[in-house]
Amino acid sequence: MTPIIETHLLNKKYGETHALQDVSIKIPAGTIGLLGPNGAGKSTFIKCLLQLENKTSGSVSLLGMNIDEKGRETRTRIGYAPEQDCHIPGMIGSEYVTYCGELSGLPFEDARQRAHEMLDFVGMGQERYRKVDTYSTGMKQRVKIAQALVHDPDLVFLDEPTNGLDPNGQAMVLDLITRIWKESGISVILSSHLLHDVDRVCERIVIISQGELLVHDELAHLKQQRRPEVELLLVDEPAILYEAFDRLQWKWEKLNNGKVKVVHGQNSLNPLLSLLDETGVAPLGISASPNALNELFLKALDKGPSK
Ligand code: ADP
């Protein structure tokens, strides 16, 4: 299968800021989360792919087409909902989405029909006949998604689509993302600084940190990977348990937070639970180590914005 996005040594500099550094990636179709803290380079990555910003160096192909040769053609097959508002002041919702369809090359009648279908799809009712300026943040986000889908693209970029939404609004937008892929077969790149958003709806994850590609993997794969260790909160000093750890050659140590960390080295917690049962030790708490996805995300947060 042709990757929907393929970059080779993609670089973008804004003056002294190296916003993207040697990003080489091949992304297959599906729902993909583009994750990283604010300032990591996510928007720059999207803008360079869409030629809204000129890349400094490197090559990019979208849907199998090199953007330097076929930029215009690729963009007719791509939708984009930017992070900031992009509506035209004074226009009513349905007019605006129809107009975006016409800008993408659809004849007026087709654009109008598709606009209403997409406004239905994103759950907009009679509000579509009101001026977009009067919309709530949630409605504005949904209209932005409708305009990104109006020309029936193969790939859509949604930049921070849950920003500013309450939990209900967030859930609604995330649900839409799943449906865009499952019902329409349109691949979605969801850019977000929230692990929760990406975790909920994406099959793959790309983490960018300080302009560099930190990880690209299937979400399920990353979530399966855990360091085989746990932290136990114990009532008093259960010598019998410590002796059992030593006998099994499980490394253990007392941590500053009062817990005991034990490296049990197993894929499952069952051997540890059996051991607790055998020794008659009932811990107050057992916390498994975070999975690789959480750890990588924390690492990305640690690094902060690109320099
Ligand atoms: P994200 O989308 O992950 O929040 P951005 O791509 O917006 O990150 O920004 C990446 C880095 O590039 C940041 O350090 C940001 O300050 C810088 N940057 C982004 N756009 C510009 C610009 N137009 N001019 C100068 N620096 C920019």
Report the residue count for the chain: 307
**Do residues 215 and 243 both lie within one domain?**
no
Contact by Cβ (8 Å): 179, 185: no
| pLDDT tens column, 243-289 | 999 999 999 999 988 899 999 988 788 999 999 999 999 999 998 87
pLDDT on residue 307: 65
- pTM for this model (two decimals): 0.85
Query: Which range has the top average pLDDT, 147-151, 228-232, 300-304?
Result: 147-151
**Do residues 120 and 154 both lie within one domain?**
yes
**Do residues 53 and 154 both lie within one domain?**
yes
Q: Mean pLDDT in the chain?
A: 93
User: How confident is residue 124, by pLDDT bands cut at 50, 70 and 90?
Assistant: very high
Residue with CA closest to ligand 1 atom 24: 14
pLDDT on residue 297: 85
**Do residues 132 and 174 both lie within one domain?**
yes
pLDDT on residue 267: 78
- 283: domain CATH number is 3.30.70.100
According to DSSP, residue 166 is labeled -
88 CB burial (10 A radius; 0-12, 13-18, 19+): exposed
Side chain identity at residue 45, one-letter code: F
**Do residues 199 and 231 both lie within one domain?**
no
The residues facing 5 across adjacent strands are 27, 62
Domain boundaries, position 263? 227-289
**Domain tally for the chain?**
2
- Distance (angstroms) between ligand 1 centre and the Cα of 123 equals 32
Q: Which of 225, 280, 224, 274 is nearest to 250 (CA)?
A: 274
**Do residues 173 and 74 both lie within one domain?**
yes
| pLDDT tens column, 161-188 | 999 899 999 999 999 999 999 999 999 9
pLDDT on residue 306: 66
Residue with CA closest to ligand 1 atom 26: 14
Atom of ligand 1 nearest to the CA of 37: 3
Q: Which of 236, 208, 216, 217 is nearest to 305 (CA)?
A: 208
**Do residues 190 and 144 both lie within one domain?**
yes
**Do residues 195 and 276 both lie within one domain?**
no
Q: Flag whether pLDDT at 226 surpasses 90.
A: no
| Structure token digits, residue 38 | 């604010």
User: How confident is residue 304, by pLDDT bands cut at 50, 70 and 90?
Assistant: low
